[in-house]
Amino acid sequence: GENVEQHPSTLSVQEGDSAVIKCTYSDSASNYFPWYKQELGKRPQLIIDIRSNVGEKKDQRIAVTLNKTAKHFSLHITETQPEDSAVYFCAAKFDSGAGSYQLTFGKGTKLSVIP
């Protein structure tokens, strides 16, 4: 099955600095890569996603880049704010057979933004 590696597991940045989280995946057929944010004690929520036909996508202070050749994708958060503190999960969609797909998640990155 698909394997998704996520680094780093923890990340501390000063408020206003940028944060970068990187993921690699194993299935070259994967074509959908979402990022979820999970605040303490809450459910994961989609913050941005990218499909394999584009190399970069931006939404205000958040951007995701995809390198299909190297099979890695990254989340970039600029001008970080304390409310960005959370656990971020990357994921990759892969074909689990019989026309079914599933999302495999990385182990998460705990981001702490220091005021």
State in angstroms the smallest separation of the CB of 102 from another protein: 5
Cis peptide before 8 (omega within 30 of 0): yes
* Residues 73-102, interacting with another protein (CB under 8 A): 89, 93, 96-102
> Cα(51)–Cα(30) distance, rounded to whole angstroms?
9
Burial of 71 (0-12, 13-18, 19+ CB in 10 A): middle
Nearer to another protein, 27 or 78 (CB): 27
Q: Are 29 and 1 in contact (CB under 8 A)?
A: no
Is residue 113 a contact residue for another protein (CB under 8 A)?
no
Nearer to another protein, 22 or 78 (CB): 22
* Residues 3-42, interacting with another protein (CB under 8 A): 6, 32, 34, 36, 42
State in angstroms the smallest separation of the CB of 12 from another protein: 16
Is residue 107 a contact residue for another protein (CB under 8 A)?
yes
> Cα(62)–Cα(100) distance, rounded to whole angstroms?
30
Is residue 45 a contact residue for another protein (CB under 8 A)?
yes
Paired tokens of 8: 């780093």
